[in-house]
Amino acid sequence: MSQSTAYKVIDAVKATNLPPIPMVAKWASEYKDPGSKPLINLSQGAPGEQPHPSLIERLTKVVQSPGAQKGDTTISGGSDSAAYGNVRGDVAMRMALVEEMKYVYGGQDKLDVDVQVEDVALTAGCNAAFMAAVMVVAERGDEVILPVPWYFNNEMTLRILGIEPVGLPVSIETGFLPSVEQAESLITPRTKAIGLVSPNNPVLRTPHRL
């Protein structure tokens, strides 16, 4: 990362790799369709479908009628959709996520999954969630183990925070599943976390397989 400003950019930012998306987008823009082999974009998980009409309808009502919505109590004491809401996120949505997590990790009977609404917080995407979680458990000079290939934003987050990412190699021969024994061999006194994503990005390992 080059430094072209008058002020000093911190070393952690300068040491952070650039995201590969612009490079891949450039490759895609230069791709010449030979006719029978169109470009298939598997590089991002951006939704290809429009939101469900019921969601659009609900959002429209909320935006058009601030101050008239029933739901979570805001910091100002009312139920204003235009005001700050619960710092952990909408309670009804968190309750729904709790039920989903119990189902995903415990099956239809939702067995042995002790997750409560108080355990769940909403963020503006997984990148914000990852950064918030890492900032709670690790600090500059610590290490976090990430399966390789990893999601590039996770590595960028760690480097910006001065935390060293430690690669845990996985391969097609093992179905891209991380080895417990190999993970144990990488643990040092500086290790604060092992990053597992379900479904894993970019190789889509699901919770029951992880």
Model pLDDT, residue 45? 67
Which residues have C-beta within 8 Å of that of residue 197, sequence separation ≥ 6? 126, 151
* Burial of 170: CB neighbours in 10 Å, binned 0-12, 13-18, 19+: buried
Asked if residue 67 lies in contact with residue 81, where contact means CB atoms within 8 angstroms, the answer is yes
109 alpha-carbon distance from chain centroid:
27
Q: Which pLDDT value is given to residue 200?
A: 67
Structure tokens at 11: 């070393």
Please, what are the domains in the chain? 1-22+123-210 (3.40.640.10), 86-122 (no CATH)
- What are 179's two structure tokens? 């080895």
Indicate the pTM of the whole model: 0.73
Q: Are 168 and 182 in contact (CB under 8 A)?
A: yes
Predicted confidence (pLDDT) per residue in 78-100, tens digit: 456 777 788 899 898 999 999 98
101-147 pLDDT tens trace: 888 877 767 667 888 999 999 998 889 999 999 999 999 999 999 99
Supply the pLDDT for residue 77: 39
In tens, the pLDDT along 34-61 reads 676 777 777 666 777 788 999 999 888 8
Strands 191-194 and 164-169: unpaired
Between the CA of residue 44 and those of 22, 79, 100, what are the distances in Å? 12, 36, 24
Q: Given a cut of 90, is residue 188 above it in pLDDT?
A: yes
Instruction: Residue 145: name the closest of 171, 116, 170 by CA.
Output: 170
Average pLDDT of the chain to the nearest whole number:
82
Token output for 9: 């950019």
Q: What does the alpha-carbon distance between residue 132 and residue 201 come to, in Å, rounded to a whole number?
A: 19
**What phi and psi values does residue 194 have, to the nearest 5 degrees?**
-120, 125
